[in-house]
Amino acid sequence: MTSHYLQCVLCGRRYEDDQLHYSCPHCGEAGTLDILYDYDSLRTSLDRDALKGDFTTNAWRYRDLLPIAADGPVPPLSLSVGWTPLYDAPRVADALGVARVSLKDDGRNPTGSLKDRASALVTARAMAADIPIVSTASTGNAAAALAGIVASVPDMQAVIFVPATAPEAKIAQLLVYGAQIVLVDDSYDVAFDLCMQTCLEQNWYSRNTGVNPYTTEGKKTVALEIAEQLDWQIPDAVVVSVGDGSIISGIYKGFWDLHQLGWIVRMPRIIGVQAVGSSPLVAAWENGTPGEAMQPVDAHTIADSISAGLPRDRVKALRAVRETGGAYIAVTDDDIVAAIPELAQLSGVFVEPAAAAAFAGARIAVQSQHINPDEHIAIVLTGNGLKDVRTAQKSVQPVASVAPNMQAVRDHLRKLSLI
């Protein structure tokens, strides 16, 4: 096992790997944990250029920087998670008014979202601990990720707590994978609490975002990939949508780890984007509120994947922005819906509302001068557009049918200025 320990983000208490699974018992839920390594030892034992000879085309190529066996085989998971495309997007750059844009398309993961990264690592941890049932609360993507990863492993079961408002397509995905579902007739935050209590009572392994620190370690691999795919030339800023705060925390942690190793010369500014109707981190950042002092809000947004009244990884999420000189941006649901076809038509990448929020937020960040026109930015696109086809349908005009004859076709093409 790669040598590591756990440290509370609030009180700094250190714990060994086998002492606890979740948050700091002294600081409660807000006391989320960092997974830290012996960076002095890793600097002497690891060589970033050696990665060029590693033909592992998934997240396990970074196993030396993950809390799994470093010198043995990769975890026995059959699905290939990670190493998603990073596209250079000049037309997106022109539309935003910046020098360069890189799009990290994490909708290309096995179940269609970045959250496969966390689920793969958490499932590997559960397998190592001989815990056959893994559970999570989710508005959709984390649930699908866990259900899909667990389905690839014999003799394991996923139990998912889902708010009844989750998109039908995402619930259907869970059923297809064979997960057991607890459909909660309340918010995500209530489903989260019920899931956590059940895991503690039944001794199941909780994948819950924020509470389980290993989710951050899985998600950090997206930052490791961005760095390597750019030949270690870090963008000026990285933009990502934010709900519970675990993905932005993982992006920060990935770049932070690389900086500790000396593999990159600086940290990028990290810019988090929330929907106006679910923006507690925006308010906390603007008001200088500590994460542990944040209070829940009534969350409502069309972007279900980033709907969270009280982000569970709020302390780390604020740290990611504050310590890198970044910002939190709020976008409206109308901005989000409009961004879906705009991004697709500029880049060919079809994303769900939460990912579209990052693109919409990047535009506002440029307008508000959190991003400068001469800069290179990376936008992390966290989920595939097929996750929420209904919202995509709202973003475009319906197509009228034509009579089945050539004259009708010609008339229609003239209206479209095609002939």
Domains along the sequence of the chain with CATH: 86-110+215-394 (3.40.50.1100)
Instruction: Tell me the pLDDT band of 279, cut-offs 50, 70 and 90.
Output: very high
Residue percentage of the chain with pLDDT more than 70: 97
pLDDT of residue 189: 84
Instruction: Tell me the pLDDT band of 70, cut-offs 50, 70 and 90.
Output: low
Is 285 a residue whose pLDDT tops 80?
yes
Distance CA 41, CA 37 (A): 9
pLDDT of residue 129: 86
The structure tokens listed for 389 are: 């086809």
- 298-355 pLDDT, tens digit per residue, is 999 999 889 888 998 999 999 999 999 999 999 999 999 999 999 999 999 999 999 9
Dihedral sign for Cα atoms in the order 92, 93, 94, 97: positive
Q: CA geometry: angle at 223 spanning 130 and 90, to 5°?
A: 140
The answer to whether 305 touches 243, Cβ cutoff 8 Å, is: yes
Is 76 a residue whose pLDDT tops 80?
no
Averaged pLDDT, 88-103: 98
The answer to whether 355 touches 391, Cβ cutoff 8 Å, is: no
Instruction: Tell me the pLDDT band of 288, cut-offs 50, 70 and 90.
Output: very high
pLDDT of residue 389: 87
- 150-166 pLDDT, tens digit per residue, is 999 989 999 999 988 88
- 363-374 pLDDT, tens digit per residue, is 999 999 999 999
pLDDT of residue 77: 75
The total of other beta-carbon atoms located within 10 Å of residue 190's CB is 15
Averaged pLDDT, 58-75: 78
**Residue 168: C-alpha distances to residues 172, 177, 398 (Å):** 6, 14, 21
Averaged pLDDT, 380-394: 92
Predicted model pTM: 0.94
